[in-house]
Structure 1
Amino acid sequence: MTGMTVVLNELLNERDTPVEEVMARHFVPAYRQRTDGTWADWAEVARNLTRIRTAIRSVRIEMLDELTDGRAYADRHVLTVEMADGTSQVRESYVFGSRAEDGRFERLEEVTLVTSTDGSR
C-alpha cells in the first residue's frame, strides 16, 4: 500500500502526469472525500486538484503520523505550500479514511488548519 506522502507528492508536485492518471492509481472510481465538512466525489476531487496545481508552485510534505490498521487509515501531515503568486501557506491536516481491498483509497475525511507564512490570512 502506498503511503499518503507518495500520493500527495504525485498529485501536487509531479505535474507531468495528469491528475486523473495519478488518481486512478491511488483512488477507487467510487472514491469520496470530505474536506472541512464538504463532500466531493472522484470527478470533483480531480477538478479541484487540477485547479490547485495551477495555483501552486511547489509543496513540501511532512508526515507527522500515519497509521493503517487493516483497511482503516489515519494520518496527520503538514504541507508547506508555495503559491504561484509568491505567497506561502502552511496547511496541517488530520485525515481518517478507508482503503479498498486492492489498497487504493475509497474514502477520506479531512480537517485542515491553514496558516499563512507571509503574515497575511
Structure 2
Amino acid sequence: MAIVVEELLNERETPVEEVMARHFVPAYRQRTDGAWAEWPAIAQNLARIRTIVRLVKIELLDELVDGYAYADRHVLTIEMNDGTRQTRESYVFGSLAPDGRFEVIEEVTLVDPAHSPRLMVRPDSDK
C-alpha cells in the first residue's frame, strides 16, 4: 500500500489513470467511510487531490497479505499546498486479483475534526 499511495499522490508527472492501471484492475471499486466509488470517480478525486497537496508521506503500521486477502493500517501525513498539515489513520481491507492488483478496497479513515475538509469526494457531495 505504501508504494500505491506514494505513486498515486506524489508521482505527479505520470497521469493518475496510468498509475491506477499499475495497481488496480479495471473493475476496481473502493468504499471509503461507507461511500462506494468506482474507477472514474476515484481517478477524478485523485487528480483533484494532486492539485491541493504538496506531499504525502505514508507510515505503514501493519500489513497482512493472505492469498488474495489484504489488510493494513497506515498513517498519512499530508502537507497541503497552503502549508497546513493533516494526519489521517486508515484501516484498509481489500481483495487482490491473481495478477496482484487490487480489485476492491474498503477503508475507514480517522481524521481529527479540527482539520480542513475531507479529501475524499462523497457520492452525495456537490463538490
- Structure 1, unaligned stretches of length 5 or more? none
Whole-angstrom CA distance in 1 between matches of 2:99 and 2:9: 23
**Residues 5-84 of structure 1 correspond to what in structure 2 (within 5 A)?**
5-84=2-81
SS across alignment from 1:73: strand
Alpha-carbon contact 2:59-2:76 (below 8 Å) kept: yes
Could you list the runs of 4 or more consecutive aligned residues of structure 1 that deviate by over 3 angstroms after TM superposition? none
Whole-angstrom CA distance in 2 between matches of 1:21 and 1:73: 22
Q: Are the structure 2 counterparts of residues 68 and 120 from structure 1 closer, same or farther at C-alpha, using a change threshold of 3 Å?
A: closer
SS across alignment from 2:99: coil
Which of 84, 89, 102 is residue 92 of structure 1 equivalent to?
Answer: 89
Q: 1:115 Cα shift?
A: 2.7
Q: How many residues align?
A: 116
Residue identity (%): 72
AA matched with 2:6: N
Alpha-carbon contact 2:96-2:103 (below 8 Å) kept: yes
- Structure 2, unaligned stretches of length 5 or more? 117-127
SS across alignment from 1:77: strand
AA matched with 1:79: L
Whole-angstrom CA distance in 1 between matches of 2:112 and 2:86: 6
Whole-angstrom CA distance in 1 between matches of 2:8 and 2:72: 17
Aligned: 1:102 with 2:106: no
AA matched with 2:21: A
Whole-angstrom CA distance in 1 between matches of 2:11 and 2:86: 19
Alpha-carbon contact 2:86-2:115 (below 8 Å) kept: no
Whole-angstrom CA distance in 1 between matches of 2:12 and 2:27: 24
Aligned-residue Cα RMSD (Å) equals 1.2
TM-score, length-scaled by structure 1: 0.92
TM-score, length-scaled by structure 2: 0.88
Which of 100, 106, 111 is residue 108 of structure 2 equivalent to?
Answer: 111
SS across alignment from 1:22: helix
